[in-house]
Amino acid sequence: MQWNKPTIPIELATEEHIDQEPDAWLIPHHMRNPVYFSSAIQRVAQKFQSCIWVEAGQGSSVISLVKNCLNGEGQQLYCPSFLNRPSAISSVAETVVELWGASIHVQFWPYHRSERANFEYKSLPPYQFEKTKHWLPFIDQASSEPTPDIVHAAQNSFTHKFISLEFSDSSKEAIFIIDPQSDRYMYFLNGHIASNQALAPASLYVELLSRAAIILTKNASFNTHIISINSIQMQGALIGLDSSKNIYVKLTRVTPDIDYWDFEFSSKSKQGGGDVQIHVIGKVGLGKRDDPALADTIRQWSALIGYKRCLSIMNSEDGEKMQGKHIYQALQRLVFFDEMYHGIKSISYQGHEAAGKVAAELDSKRGPKRGPV
């Protein structure tokens, strides 16, 4: 038998440290002399100060012996092995996690690339679920109740506006505030539920930007003007129904005298504490509905796609099709849409192309009011 030089330090369970490399002499020496386990453990602990003790076995008491030998001295990490139990895999996983926490690079074999076929991807939301509180308001029964006339006047003295202008510098910047307790805001969010949370749909961002842009533009209305969103980026959690926060929309004009802005949706606690949370950023412009440039853009898209091609995909016998309530029943596992959002009537796809039919009935609750906002 040929002994190779060890690549890792070996501490023999002898009374004193032996620098001699292991060889044939070790076998009779080990059989003829006592085992000084405690001495060997203490020498290792003194040499390395902070040690990680990993059991190379299954369910023995060696780690307990190590703990008794050191009496809690130093910063030690103990990793026992319980491979003789039904939870053997969990035991190995816990040991691997502890070693990862100690910055030790080890590979947990069930996660090896050769086992990739045994796992599947899960789609998780990229935002933290919004936290909501459900405390009932405190009512002081000892205080005197106001007269009915005073109560009626107090109720009518304040109304929750959907959106209102808070600050405006007509040449550069404007800030709008959205009231999450307004009827219109709650109406939109209660019809769009994701992961048991009422979250703002994309159409709400579009309407808020439309209202803000029209407020800032002279002689503009929903009948004569239309917005164009050139870019939109999600920066954080979607806006929800948290009434303890104020929601802001900031429009910063890119070029003077041109109706084109950088926009930002943010929120902050009404109590004044905490940081401002950015939700969405992007760019938006406002133009006239009868603008020839807008008509040219629509014609270019029509020429690229074509109405006949859409009909061909929708009527193809070789394509896949879904229509009616089945569309939103399939989506309900991820997001619940109220009937007011059921605008997709049918969708068909063939190869890498898809076409569908979208129709929506006008609703006075959803349509923008022509009066003050």
For the range 70-75, what are the long-range contacts, defined as Cβ-Cβ under 8 Å and sequence gap of 24 or more?
A: 70/41, 70/42, 70/45, 73/45, 74/45, 74/49, 74/50, 75/49, 75/50
Q: What is the pLDDT of residues 88-144, one digit of tens each?
A: 888 888 888 888 888 888 887 777 777 777 777 777 766 666 667 777 776 765 544
The predicted pLDDT at position 319 comes to: 84
Determine contact, residues 65/36, Cβ cutoff 8 Å.
Answer: no
* Residue 67, φ and ψ in degrees, nearest 5: -60, -40
What is the C-alpha radius of gyration for the chain, rounded to an integer number of angstroms? 35
Q: Note the pLDDT tens digit of each residue in 144-178.
A: 455 555 444 445 445 788 899 988 876 789 999 99
- Angle at the Cα of 282 (from 280 to 287), degrees rounded to 5? 130
Measured from the Cβ of residue 327, the count of other Cβ atoms closer than 10 Å reads 17
Q: Tell me how far apart the alpha carbons of residues 262 and 249 are, in angstroms, rounded to a whole number.
A: 10
Ranges of CATH 3.10.129.10 domains, the chain: 161-289
Residue 264 has pLDDT above 90, yes or no: yes
**CATH code at 26-118:** 3.90.25
Give residue 307's pLDDT: 84
Q: Residue for token digits 């959803």? A: 366
Reported pTM? 0.53
Token pair belonging to 255: 């070029």
Instruction: Say if CB 330 and CB 341 are below 8 A apart.
Output: no
Tell me what the mean pLDDT of segment 29-52 comes to: 88
Q: What is the pLDDT of residue 151?
A: 46
Q: How far apart are the first and last CA of the chain?
A: 92
pLDDT, tens digit, 9 for 90 and up, residues 190-214? 888 887 888 888 889 999 999 999 9
pLDDT tens digits along 275-325 = 889 999 999 999 998 988 888 888 888 888 888 888 898 888 888 899 888
pLDDT at 369 over 60: no
* Per-residue pLDDT, 90: 84
Residues 6+ apart with CB under 8 A from 340: 191, 363, 366
Task: Sort strands 52-54 and 77-79 into parallel, antiparallel or unpaired.
Answer: parallel
Class of domain 161-289: alpha beta
Residue ranges of the chain assigned to CATH 3.90.25: 26-118
pLDDT digit string (tens) for 338-350? 888 888 999 998 8
Q: Residue 159 in contact with residue 183, Cβ under 8 Å?
A: no
What number is the average pLDDT over the span 181-197?
A: 86
Residue 270 is classified by DSSP as T
Taking the C-alpha atoms of residue 100 and residue 52, their distance in angstroms, rounded to an integer, is: 12
**Residues near 170 by Cβ (< 8 Å), separated by ≥ 6?**
216
Position 322: which residue type? Answer: M
What contacts 80, CB < 8 A, 6 or more positions away?
55, 63
Q: Under DSSP, is residue 160 helix (H, G, I), strand (E, B) or coil? A: coil
